[in-house]
């Protein structure tokens, strides 16, 4: 029985174990899930040991623990550092899930549940690939370091500190990450570019307390109206971000890269169907693929103020709030952008309100030098594992850590994505295609095997 | 012991009984308070009987019951119809109350609790005034009809139907209402103008489901951004409502009335202090008093969409919502305004979203012909009851019912207000000044006594 046959023979076992992982509601943004986070960390540690990793440690941080393990018994062979995260997004709104978020369910060739695609399913692919390699030959054929954090969905607040403190220990020839998507079903992909992410919260405060809108309306400042008017000034008519200096440092795409990206088998029709809106919006002068992968954006992520309940309440609220984020592209600097955003917002607000502006997190954009040979090894492994042509793509999402690692270790970062763009990563009914989960285990096992053979 | 001495002797008894009334959380907007609403209706009925009213009935409606009672044993004397409401606004946000909303507490000469000013305290003033008159002379000296509803805070949805069905029975020489405020502490006031109120809710729907703002941001329509941009277009730079036709039917103030209103002992400094914002906003070209009482407005009352929880969630929500209202002045027609608002909002929204527009309630504006003699009787009673000069004022709030009654019965409506503008009618720490509560009982008793003596 060869490696691939071995992996094929374990399908049910792998899937059942993944479901176990998914049942742990390890939501990192909510403090009430702290015990679940701990449980998920222990679960990961146990599975790493089963895959042949040693020195497996659960390292406490200021927030949620990080799981690390390694196997260094292949002298002269390459060393890879695999990174993933075991924390997940909140599941709300719960009533929009077809089956409960933390009760994984297979329907129509897909596994549904919070974390299936982002990122528990993809982390599990690597653990099972390593386990298969170990079980086939008795030991892992290359040197492996695995680092699984629990704070990715809250901006990886402790990760960087851990990396700095373990710089020597973490040294590797390449970083491998699976937290991205394939271009489309049947198109295995390597992501060579990610957008950075700054996340902000703004509080606009007017009256000292909630006021009756009949008695005070027409003279008291209304924080909701003022917040809305401020938001309306953040984009111009062409849907460009209207913050002075926002685009100053953006590196323009080369004609060649632009052509390559627009030639990909990317299906606009399917994208439109996934979005499901009457029409798309976006920055004038760029194709949809360019808007999604190569252009910076400003998106509102939450807004609230006043009366949100049933029926009518004639109130002018004391305060109104918004959460929003900017996606950044090479060569924008997150700290500089955060300053530009804050300055502009403060300038936009009238003197009848005060403003509390918070930067909740920042993260750099990244592009890979994908001419390095490891990318060729990876793309061939993908093609063998899936039996399909594989492609190089970029992605609109953010893994700030990738940039930081690349900046620190100066080694290639290989992003093997096994999700799909319509798998609702941060929304109800998140899922992963079973063919990508099973194909992923084969491709990753082959990738590690071929790296060891070079 | 004359009427006034009698009322003075009952202060503690009156206050304790009012507290009993305030402890019933009769919140009409929330269906879970249905049993409290029923309890409040029964409480009112019992007290009306104690005040000498007969045929006291609790009439069920489609929503919350209406309490009616009458005393018609004064042939040849005037008949007054008193209207009030026993329902209250929601108490949220609960954590902003110094003492719990439904545990009435006296501090610093003020009684705190939801409903103290709006409107339980004022209803109780009338019940106790009538009881005093009855107890002084053995019977009520004029004909009285009392109608207390439980749906005022939800737009009086059943009241009008009740009035139409009981048109003959409700006939009176004057309507008396106490649900307004005095101009200021120590300035007893009769309100002769109210703004009308239309209340709306709008849902802006874009993507078929919540989307990841990294994967979809920059190309998918964002309902929060689009809602904010729509709201920003509802006012112009001078804070005029930018809905075409909105001001078309507004009757301009006469020079005389404008002068009278601006000469009132209205304290801008105190108003600014109550609002407590860094500065005021409002329509250019009008004084603050004019903006509050005589100009139509559009106010946002609630907004929500996306992630409202702790921390960050990188989501583009499927939908975003706003609640807002227009205050109307003579001669604006609520139905016409609702149509103008809906048409404008639909025109403002881009084709990338759909819109669900609801009119939750409508209500006409009103001004009284205060030259009628009953207003002179009322103002003298106020001056005697309080020992202060009384004034004629307008108010920015809305009692749609007053207009409907005036239109139907063509009799004067006398609005005796015992609240104060800074008593947080719809906000935490609602209260009533004890001197106004006790002075109100005396003034109302004198008003009814003097009407009977004419």
Phi-psi region of B430 (alpha: psi -120 to 50; beta: other; left: phi over 0): beta
In terms of CA atoms, which chain A residue is nearest residue B228?
A: A228
Candidates B279, B352, B424; nearest CB to A281: B352
pLDDT at A422: 79
Closest CA to B154 of B100, B97, B85: B85
Distance CA B136, CA A441 (A): 93
Cα–Cα distance between B177 and B415 in angstroms, integer?
5
3-state secondary structure of A60: coil
- The kind and range of the H/E element at A315 are strand A315-316
Between chains, do A231 and B218 touch, taking CB under 8 Å as contact? no
Chain B: give the shortest CA distance to residue A274, in Å. Answer: 8
pLDDT in tens, A94-118: 999 999 999 999 999 999 999 999 9
Residue B422 to residue B429: CA distance in whole angstroms: 10
Spatial neighbors of A78 by CB under 8 A, at least 6 apart, are A142, A143, A173, A174, A451, A452, A454
Alpha-carbon distance A331 to nearest alpha carbon in chain B (angstroms): 17
Nearest to B196 by CA among B442, B376, B374, B367: B367
Nearest to B312 among A181, A199, A425 (CB): A199
Which of B31, B216, B223, B351 best probes binding to A when mutated, by most A CB atoms within 10 angstroms?
Answer: B216
pLDDT tens per residue, range B291-338: 999 999 999 999 999 999 999 999 999 999 999 999 999 999 999 999
Beta strands in A404-454 (DSSP E): 413-417, 431-433
pLDDT at site A370: 77
Chain A CB contacts of B182 below 8 Å: none
3-class DSSP state of A415: strand
Q: Considering only the beta carbons, identify the residue of B90, B212, B429 that sits closest to A309.
A: B90
Instruction: Give the per-residue pLDDT at A369.
Output: 77
Closest CB from A155, A212, A288 relative to B425: A212
CA B296/CA B398 separation, integer angstroms: 12
pLDDT of residue B221: 98
Nearest residue of B to residue A321, measured between CA atoms: B308
User: Contact, A298 vs A329, CB < 8 A?
Assistant: no
Measure the CA–CA gap between A72 and A141, rounded to whole angstroms. 9
Asked if B301 lies within 8 A of A213 by C-beta distance, the reply is yes
Whether B313 sits inside 8 A of A89 (CB atoms) is yes
> Which residue blocks in A2-96 are alpha helix, DSSP H?
3-9, 11-22, 34-50
* DSSP three-state, residue B139: coil
Candidate list B17, B87, B119, B422, residue with the active-site label = B87
Of B453, B382, B445, B376, whose CA–CA distance to B412 is shortest? B376
**Closest chain A CA to residue B214:** A397
Å between B329 CA and nearest CA of chain A: 12
Provide the pLDDT for residue B399: 79
Q: Quick one: tokens of A454?
A: 């070079």
pLDDT of residue A181: 87
| Minimum distance, in Å, between the CA of residue B347 and any CA atom of chain A | 15
Alpha-carbon gap, residue B448 to B343, rounded angstroms: 48
Residues A162 and A109 sit within 8 Å (Cβ to Cβ): no
Q: What does pLDDT average to over chain A?
A: 95
% of chain A at pLDDT higher than 70 = 100
Grade residue A308 by pLDDT with cuts at 50, 70 and 90: very high
Name residue, tokens 């509102």: A300
Rounded Cα gap, residues B333 and B339, in angstroms: 10
Supply the pLDDT for residue A98: 97
**Cβ-based contacts of A227 with chain B (< 8 Å):** 228, 303
Beta-carbon separation of A427 and B210 below 8 A: yes
| ipTM, interface predicted TM-score of the complex | 0.80
Query: Cβ contact (<8 Å) for B228 and A232?
Result: yes
Among candidates A85, A91, A295, A273, which has minimal Cα distance to A185? A273
**Helical H segments across A245-322, by residue range:** 255-263, 268-275, 288-293
Examine the pLDDT at A189 and tell me if it is beyond 90.
yes
Would the CB atoms of A216 and B396 count as touching at under 8 Å? yes
Interior angle at CA B22, CA B16 and CA B27, nearest 5 = 170
Angle, in degrees to the nearest 10, between helices B223-232 and A223-232: 110
Among the listed residues B152, B153, B179, B395, the single catalytic one is: B152
| pLDDT above 90: residue A222 | yes
Peptide bond into B100 cis (omega under 30): no
B218 and A313 within 8 Å at the Cβ level: the answer is no
Pick out chain B residues at pLDDT < 70. Answer: none
pLDDT of residue B189: 96
Across the interface, of B154, B212, B277, the residue whose CB is closest to A207 is: B277
Q: How far is B96 from chain A (nearest CA, A)?
A: 9
Q: B50-66: string of b/e by CB count within 10 Å (b at 16+)?
A: bbbbeebebeeeebbbb
A280 to chain B: which residues are within 8 Å by CB? 219-221, 352
- Yes or no, beta carbons of A427 and B212 under 8 Å apart: yes
Per-residue confidence (pLDDT) for residue B372, from 0 to 100: 87
Query: Under an 8 A CB cutoff, do A233 and B232 touch?
Result: yes
Instruction: Look at A281 and B227 and tell me if their CB atoms are within 8 Å.
Output: no
Q: Going by C-beta distance under 8 Å and a sequence separation of 6 or more, which residues neighbour residue B91?
A: B25, B27, B97, B101, B102, B114, B428
Q: Which residue of A has its CA nearest to B425?
A: A212
Angle at B351 between CA B346 and CA B355, to 5 degrees: 45
Rounded mean pLDDT, A247-267 = 93
Residue of B nearest to A224 (CA): B300
- CA separation for the pair A131, A143 (Å, rounded): 14
Q: For the segment A200-209, what is each residue's pLDDT rounded down to a tens digit?
A: 999 999 999 9
Tell me how far apart the 2 most distant CA atoms of chain A are, in Å.
81
Contact A401, A364 (CB under 8 A): no
Judge contact between A353 and A206, C-beta under 8 A: yes
Distances (CA, A) of B355 to A91, B178, B302: 26, 39, 17
Residue pair A13/A47 in contact by the 8 Å Cβ criterion: no
Extract the runs of DSSP E, i.e. beta strands, from A342-440. Answer: 354-361, 366-367, 391-394, 413-417, 431-433
Tokens of B160: 């009008």
Cβ of A248: how many Cβ atoms within 10 Å? Answer: 12
Under DSSP, the state recorded for B57 is E
Question: Which of B94, B213, B274 best probes binding to A when mutated, by most A CB atoms within 10 angstroms?
Answer: B213
C-alpha angle A147-A371-A408 in degrees, rounded to nearest 5: 40
Mutate to test the interface with A, among B277, B338, B355 (most CBs of A within 10 A): B277
Q: Which residues of A touch B327 (CB under 8 A)?
A: 213-214, 217-218
> B366 forms bridges with which residues in the sheet?
B194
* Bridge partners (DSSP) listed for residue B203: B321, B356
b/e for A140-171, b at 16 or more Cβ within 10 A?
A: bbbbbbbbbbbbbbbbbbbbeebbeeeeeebe
- Chain B residue nearest residue A426, CA to CA: B212
| SS3 state of residue A83 | strand
In sign, the C-alpha dihedral spanning A228, A229, A230, A231 is positive
Q: Which residues pair with B111 in a beta bridge?
A: B106, B432
Residue A251: DSSP 8-state: P
Domains and CATH numbers, chain B: 3-194+365-453 (3.40.630.10), 196-255+294-361 (3.30.70.360)
pLDDT for B342 equals 98
Distance of CA B436 to the CA centre of its chain: 18
Question: Which pLDDT score, from 0 to 100, does residue B180 have?
Answer: 86
Active site residue B152: yes
Nearest to B214 among A96, A197, A206 (CB): A197
- In the beta sheet, which residues pair with residue A297? A327
């Amino acid at each position: 029985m060869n490696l691939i046959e071995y992996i094929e023979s374990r399908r049910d076992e792998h899937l059942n174990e993944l479901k176990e992982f998914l049942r742990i509601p390890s939501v990192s943004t909510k403090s009430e899930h702290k015990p679940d986070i701990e449980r998920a960390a222990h679960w990961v540690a146990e599975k790493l040991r089963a895959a042949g990793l040693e020195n497996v440690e659960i390292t406490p941080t200021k927030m949620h623990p990080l799981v690390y393990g390694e196997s260094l018994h292949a002298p002269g062979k390459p060393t890879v550092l695999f990174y993933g995260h075991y924390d997940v997004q909140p599941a709300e709104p719960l009533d929009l899930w077809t089956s409960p978020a933390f009760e994984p369910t297979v329907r129509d060739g897909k596994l549904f549940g919070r974390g299936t695609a982002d990122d528990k399913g993809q982390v599990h692919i690597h653990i099972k690939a390593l386990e298969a390699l170990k079980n086939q030959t008795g030991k892992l054929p290359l040197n492996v370091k695995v680092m699984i954090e629990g704070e990715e969905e809250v901006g990886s607040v402790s990760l960087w500190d851990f990396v700095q403190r373990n710089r020597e220990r973490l040294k590797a020839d390449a970083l491998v990450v699976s937290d991205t998507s394939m271009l489309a079903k049947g198109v295995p992909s390597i992501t060579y570019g990610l957008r950075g992410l700054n996340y902000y919260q703004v509080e606009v405060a007017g009256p000292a307390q909630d006021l009756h809108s009949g008695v005070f309306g027409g003279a008291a400042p209304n924080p909701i109206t003022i917040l809305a008017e401020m938001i309306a000034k953040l984009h111009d008519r062409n849907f460009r971000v209207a913050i002075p200096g926002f685009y100053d440092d953006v590196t323009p795409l080369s004609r060649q890269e632009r052509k390559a990206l627009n030639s990909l088998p990317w299906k606009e029709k399917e994208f439109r169907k996934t979005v499901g809106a009457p029409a798309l919006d976006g920055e004038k002068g760029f194709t949809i693929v360019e808007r999604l992968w190569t252009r910076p954006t400003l998106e509102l992520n939450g807004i609230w103020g006043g009366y949100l309940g049933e029926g009518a309440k004639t109130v002018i609220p004391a305060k109104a709030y918004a959460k929003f984020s900017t996606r950044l592209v090479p060569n924008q600097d997150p700290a500089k952008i955060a300053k530009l955003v804050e300055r502009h917002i403060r300038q936009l607000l009238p003197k009848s309100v005060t403003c509390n502006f918070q930067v909740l997190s920042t993260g750099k954009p990244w592009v890979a030098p994908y001419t390095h040979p490891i990318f060729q090894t990876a793309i061939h492994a993908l093609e063998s594992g899936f039996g399909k042509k594989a492609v190089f793509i970029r992605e609109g999402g953010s893994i700030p850590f990738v940039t930081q690692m690349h900046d620190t270790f100066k080694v290639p970062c290989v992003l093997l994505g096994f999700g799909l763009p319509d798998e609702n990563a941060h929304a109800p009914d998140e899922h992963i295609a079973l063919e990508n989960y099973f194909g992923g285990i084969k491709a990753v096992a082959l990738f590690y095997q071929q790296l060891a053979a070079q």
